[in-house]
Amino acid sequence: MTEQINAFKMAQAQFDNVANMLNLDPQAAEILRWPTREFRFQIPVKMDDGSIRVFFGYRVQHSDARGPSKGGIRFHSSETLDTVRALAMWMTWKTAVADIPLGGGKGGVAVDSASLSINEQERLCRGWIQQIYRNIGPRQDVPAPDVGTNPRMMGWMMDEYSKLVGQFTPGVITGKPIGGGGSLGRTEATGFGVVYAIREALKHLNMDPKNAVAAIQGFGNVAQYAAIGLNTIGGRVACVSYWDRDDQKPYTVSRKDGIDPVFLQSITDVYGTIDKDKARDSGYVIEDEQAWITKEADILIPSALEGQVNAETVQKISGKVKVVAEGANGPTTPEADEFFKAHGIFNIPDFLCNAGGVTVSYFESVQNDMNFYWSREEVLSKLDDKMTKAFHDVLEMSQRENVYMRDAAYMVAIEKVVKAMELRGWL
């Protein structure tokens, strides 16, 4: 089902809908419907066996009206230019709704990073920078990790950029390792940001987090720390799903009294595959991947890839669900949005819900500029303040205009971007 969904067309449709609601200047709308710049390039990599393999890389800069483009680099076998375009557009709205002075960008390579050795990964990362370094920089476009990439890879990329420009430039990349210019709190930032948004939504709905049960799709970085964060506010996580690289299929891992995310972390490899034998030995049940969306849960947290909650899968949602918190980018299709509206399900849209990562990435850039680094507690406190304010800004817009939360988030974001365009004389 996912392959049938064009993420960029979905992103444009969402934008067009709100542009019409706002009676947006058609000239502004035409500019924002499309990326400002796009780059597609080949990356020849010498493999460990001595052969040369050519990979295709992308970088899309959707908007820099409010500041340098910002967005991750995704290494995924199904990566396409349209996927990167969509993610770059969503990053523009994400930085705006979080009220950080950045624009939107995204990058990628069509590759399964787990299929490469460590040395091949390094050569690919350095090759990506070699092809694009003239078009990125701390005041131009700042990449970061995403699906299939990690802090170590960001460290390689930062190092390669620094070599090419002839000076140490930690601010060119965020999500770097601690000790290599990275920020404390960055690892857990996106997942904890999801939890801060959920906490505020539960307050709004007069729901006690101690009685809340969540079901999570995915068990990558975002899902792991969302699960840990939910436990800290008293919530229980019924299940998570994951992609099993050995079996080449997804599964749902559940336990009747709730999962222990820290334990599951301990039996999960760096690519997000849970050791299902160790899970079974510890009392966990291994189910079909779609089982996560059918659970009797109060909160659903899709934290995998785009288009996962769609016209087909949304029909499987339990009538108990009150909140959908989008940990992933673009996980919900317009058809699923209509289902949420019809059934009174409160949606926390992606570029609000998962803005914690880019917010702390911004904090990392600030720390790089100052060459002065904050404690984990300072970072997470600043993140909580930002996420809480962003949530209530969107909620206020939703209530004032009587619109769906996703539409309200778009309204907040688009107004900020258009205002910046006007102030710079672009309109």
CA proximity to 84, closest of 98, 104, 101, 55: 104
Left if phi > 0, otherwise alpha if psi is -120 to 50, otherwise beta: which for 425?
Answer: left
Q: CA torsion angle for 284, 290, 293, 294 (degrees, to 10)?
A: -80
Name the CA radius of gyration of the chain, rounded. Answer: 20
**Residue written as tokens 């222990």?**
260
How far is 191 from 223, CA to CA, in rounded Å?
Answer: 6
CA proximity to 47, closest of 162, 106, 104, 124: 124
Query: 148-171 b/e with 16+ CB inside 10 Å = b?
Result: bbbbbbbbbbbbbbbeeeeeebbb
| Residues 6 or more apart in contact with residue 259 via CB below 8 angstroms | 227, 237, 238, 239, 240, 253, 284
Does residue 352 contact residue 197 with C-beta atoms inside 8 Å? yes
> Which one of 106, 295, 322, 416 is the catalytic residue?
106
The CA-CA-CA angle for residues 380, 293, 310, to 5°, reads 95
Q: Is the dihedral of CA 112, 118, 124, 126 positive or negative?
A: positive
Whole-angstrom CA distances from 265 to 76, 154, 223, 238 are 22, 22, 10, 15
249 is catalytic: no
Does residue 344 contact residue 366 with C-beta atoms inside 8 Å? no
Annotated catalytic sites, by residue? 106
